[in-house]
Structures are given as C-alpha cells and as structure tokens.
C-alpha cells in the first residue's frame, strides 16, 4: 500500500523540535496535536518520536502482536535511577518476566481487600488533620494527597510508616523523587551535541537524588530484615518470592530498584488523580452533590467498610472521568516490532517510539461526542463505560496497555475510592480561590498546580 507522509513541524538544525518545549511538555504536545492532527513526528535532538492522538490510532498500536512498550523516550533516562525495575525494564529482559511473575499475586483482589484497614488508617489520618486545620485554612491539595498516597503504598505493601501527617516537612524521598523525575524530562530533551560540563550542577544533583531514593529503599528493606514478619505483602514477595519459571529469587540490587519503582509509581499517580478529582468536583456542583449523597447513602454515619467500595458506583465513575480528562500519566509509548503502516497509510519504523497522547485521545469526539471536553461522570457509570469500551476499544487507557499495563490499578482504585468516601462523609469542601484557573505541574506525571481548597467538618467526625 502507498504511504502518506507523517506531518513534521519544521525544526531547527541540531536542536530539531526541542524548541517546541516549555516547562510543560504535555501542553506543548497537545497544542501540536491541535495544529497537526491525528499524527505527527518530532525530532527530539536527533531522535524521531511519532505522536498519535485519536482512539483509532491508539487502538491500533495497542495490538501486542505488532507493537511493544518503548523505552526510547523519557523512560530511557529514568532507567539510570531504577535500571530494569518493573516500570523501566524491556519486556524481553529476564528481570521483567521474573518480577512480573513474583510480584503480580501481591496485587490481586484478595490481598487488596486485606489492605482495607491500613488504607482506612491513612485516610483517617488525613481526615483528622483536616479537622484540626478547621474551615479557614487553605489546604494544598496535591501535597496532602501526596502524603496520603506515599504513606498508603509504604504501609500496605512494605509495612513501613513514613508518618507524613505527623511531620511538618515532606519526607526527603518526595522532594528527591520529584526533582529526579523533572530532571529526567529535561535530560530527555537535552540536545545530543550539548557538552556535559554545561550541566555539571544538574548532573550532580541528579545523582544525589538517586542516592536519596536508594537510601530510602534500603532503609525500608533493613527495617523488615531487622523485624522479620510473615506478612504476605509486596515486600515479603520481593524478599522471599520464588519465580515459578526460573526457580530464582529477586537479587538485592533488583529489590532496591523495585522498591523505588513502587514508591514512585505507587504515589505520584494516585495523588495526582485524587487532586484532579477534587478540582473537577469543585468546579462541577451537581457532580459534587451526587458524590456526597452517595457517600451518605452507602456509608451512613458509621465507619467505612470494605463492602462499601463496590457500592460507591458514582465515586468510581468520577474517578474514571477524572482519569479520562486528566490522566495522571498523560502519555505512554510503544514501538513497532517491524516497519509497518498505521491508519492504513502512515509508515512507522521498527523501534521508532510512538507516543499515545492520552491527554488528546481521551477527548476524541468520535468516541465521546461534542461534549468530550466536559466533566460528566454519568458517561462513566458501569453500563455506559462497558458500552464505550465495546464500541471503541482502548478509548480509555490511563493504566497503560496489555501485559505492560499498571500492576497497581486495583490498589490505586481501592485507595482512591476509600479516601473520597471518608472525606465526603465528614467534610464540605470549597475552592480557596473561587476563580482558580487550572494550571498543570508536570514531571513524569501531572498534577493541578497551586490548587488550594478548604474543608469544613459537617457534623462531627465518623
């Protein structure tokens, strides 16, 4: 078949299209999608990257017989810190298959059900803190949810308490992680010819941050080795699990890589998602009301219980709609196993990264109609959601694709539903600044920037 050239925005010699990028790359990428349409190619330094932004094209590259996860883009840089940990391993590296087989059972539905009390514990700490703050204190939304998510992943999967709600400052891990990820993005966009000495200070900080991440992970392992337990959690699986296929255990170095991977992957995304959910709800009063009515109807005035989670159907629709409009990981990349045409006409080369721009494909009017840009949780209630996915496969991909999809999806889901239910049961929320306009803070993930709200206790804590 004949191929049609993929549009390429004009670039500068040497720099390629690096000039297109501001501090907020995802907005630049969406802007280029608006200009160039469903597909375009940029030259990042000397490396080409294809960007696609419709459900039809995303659906095509989700075919694991023709495409696989790509690590040529920013994840190539993240690998410097966490090597072949689960997120950044190539699918054919032995440590990917091994860790996937050993660790997946720790995130199955039953273990996650068993984590309910610990998830509840951390959500209650947040609620108590908001109650102490009283109705007049502005709450930095993404900071509070970052503490929630970090403490929850560490407690549930590693039996380790960061105790973020008892400290004024965030744990150094949080700062090091944020800076590390932001620097990974900048390094990915460095021109290939730039000499290293220009970046001496940045390089030094990069390696210092990696050291903080590794030290934190090693402290978690040490704590468990000093107090051995037979908890069947993620850390237990890492330390004791045997791969059924090779008969091998994970190596110590790999355990460090995996722990950092889980601490990072397990909290940036969930905290961003909860922050965006509150942003959307505070801007959409009728959805806000329905969430509170549901929390009251399902939980009443009693404590949240594990059986409640599946009954909180509107809250789940709110989370799905939040992840559609504001996917915390706004893009993921694949590559073709052979040179091939996509969309029946665009030639992509073997190994060339193809980035699925969720921030755009999730707004595809073919799938979501004329009101695709609006926040409407109703379209994400179970039956509607099932219909959309049947008629438009892969139209909603916030957790990635296939065997490289998110291992922590069920974990994040339960954590977010429980937190929202407890918060809405106990508080009324309002915007700190009624005129707040959404701005995005981005590293590997995105969050609302400088977003503050207030919380007023309803009538006594439950």
Q: Which residues bind ligand HEM (CB under 6 A)?
A: 69, 86-87, 100, 153, 261-262, 265-266, 269-270, 273, 328-329, 332, 398-400, 404-408, 411-412
Q: How far apart are CA 8 and CA 139, in angstroms?
A: 43
Catalytic: which of 62, 156, 395, 406?
406
- Shortest separation between residue 323's beta carbon and ligand HEM, angstroms: 6
- Shortest separation between residue 11's beta carbon and ligand HEM, angstroms: 25
Minimum CB distance to ligand HEM smaller for 176 or for 407: 407
Structure tokens at 182: 């932001």
Q: How far apart are CA 444 and CA 181, in angstroms?
A: 6
Distance of CA 419 to the CA centre of its chain: 17
- Shortest separation between residue 351's beta carbon and ligand HEM, angstroms: 16
Minimum CB distance to ligand HEM smaller for 6 or for 406: 406
Q: How far apart are CA 254 and CA 261, in angstroms?
A: 10
- Shortest separation between residue 201's beta carbon and ligand HEM, angstroms: 29
Q: Cβ(448)–Cβ(322) under 8 Å?
A: no
Catalytic: which of 269, 322, 355, 445?
269
Structure tokens at 296: 């009251």
Q: 63: which strand partners?
A: none
Catalytic: which of 87, 375, 399, 451?
399
- Shortest separation between residue 88's beta carbon and ligand HEM, angstroms: 8
Which helix (H) or strand (E) element contains residue 256?
A: helix 252-265
Structure tokens at 64: 């694991």
- The size of the chain, in residues, is 462
Query: How buried is 223 (Cβ within 10 angstroms: 0-12 exposed, 13-18 middle, 19+ buried)?
Result: middle
Closest CA to 309 of 116, 458, 126, 118: 116
Q: Cβ(311)–Cβ(297) under 8 Å?
A: no
Minimum CB distance to ligand HEM smaller for 48 or for 272: 272
406 is catalytic: yes
Q: Which residue is nearest to ligand HEM (CB)?
A: 408
Q: 9: which strand partners?
A: none
Q: How far apart are CA 149 and CA 419, in angstroms?
A: 10
Closest CA to 104 of 417, 437, 378, 403: 403
Count the neighbouring beta carbons within 10 Å of the beta carbon of residue 124. 19
- Shortest separation between residue 65's beta carbon and ligand HEM, angstroms: 17
Minimum CB distance to ligand HEM smaller for 32 or for 412: 412
- Shortest separation between residue 356's beta carbon and ligand HEM, angstroms: 9
Structure tokens at 342: 């996509």
Minimum CB distance to ligand HEM smaller for 67 or for 451: 67
Minimum CB distance to ligand HEM smaller for 15 or for 155: 155
Minimum CB distance to ligand HEM smaller for 53 or for 261: 261
Q: Cβ(377)–Cβ(277) under 8 Å?
A: no
Catalytic residues: 269, 399, 406
């Amino acid at each position: 078949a004949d191929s049609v050239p993929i549009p390429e925005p004009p670039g500068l010699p040497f720099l390629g299209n690096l000039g297109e990028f501001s501090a907020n790359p995802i907005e630049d990428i969406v802007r280029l999608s608006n200009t160039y349409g469903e597909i375009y190619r940029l030259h990042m330094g000397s490396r080409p990257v294809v960007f696609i932004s419709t459900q039809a094209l995303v659906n095509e590259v989700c075919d694991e017989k023709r495409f696989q996860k790509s690590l040529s883009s920013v994840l190539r840089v993240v690998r410097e810190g966490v090597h072949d940990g689960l997120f950044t391993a190539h699918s054919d590296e032995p440590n990917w298959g091994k860790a996937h087989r050993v660790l997946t059972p720790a995130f199955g539905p039953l273990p996650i059900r068993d984590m309910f009390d610990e998830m509840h514990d951390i959500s209650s700490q947040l609620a108590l803190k908001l109650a102490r703050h009283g109705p007049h204190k502005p709450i930095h939304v993404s900071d509070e949810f970052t503490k929630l998510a970090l403490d929850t992943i560490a407690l549930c999967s590693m039996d380790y308490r960061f105790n973020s709600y008892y400290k004024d400052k965030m744990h150094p891990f949080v700062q090091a992680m944020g800076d590390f990820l932001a620097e990974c993005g900048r390094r990915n966009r460095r021109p290939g010819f730039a000499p290293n000495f220009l970046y001496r200070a940045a390089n030094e900080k990069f390696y210092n941050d990696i050291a903080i991440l590794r030290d934190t992970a090693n402290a978690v392992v040490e704590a468990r080795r000093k107090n051995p337990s037979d908890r069947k959690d993620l850390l237990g699986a890492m330390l004791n699990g045997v791969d059924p296929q090779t008969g091998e255990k994970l190596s110590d170095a790999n355990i460090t890589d995996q722990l950092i991977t889980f601490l990072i992957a397990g909290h940036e995304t969930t905290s961003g998602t909860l922050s965006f959910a509150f942003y959307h709800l505070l801007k959409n009063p009728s959805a806000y009301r329905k969430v509170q009515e549901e929390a009251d109807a399902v939980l009443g005035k009693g404590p949240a219980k594990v059986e409640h989670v599946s009954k909180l159907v509107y809250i789940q629709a709110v989370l799905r709609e939040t992840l559609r409009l504001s996917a915390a990981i706004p893009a993921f990349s694949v590559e073709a196993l052979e040179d091939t045409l996509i969309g029946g006409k665009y030639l992509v080369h073997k190994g060339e990264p193809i980035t699925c721009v969720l921030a755009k494909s999730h707004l595809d009017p073919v799938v979501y109609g004329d009101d695709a840009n609006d926040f409407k949780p109703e379209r994400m209630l179970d039956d509607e959601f099932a219909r959309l996915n049947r008629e438009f496969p892969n139209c909603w991909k916030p957790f990635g694709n296939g065997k490289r999809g998110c291992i922590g999806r069920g974990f994040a889901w339960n954590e977010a539903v429980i937190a929202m239910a407890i918060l809405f049961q106990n508080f009324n929320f309002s915007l700190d600044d009624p005129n707040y306009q959404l701005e995005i803070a981005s590293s590997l993930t995105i969050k609302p920037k400088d977003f503050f709200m207030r919380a007023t206790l309803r009538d006594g804590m439950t």
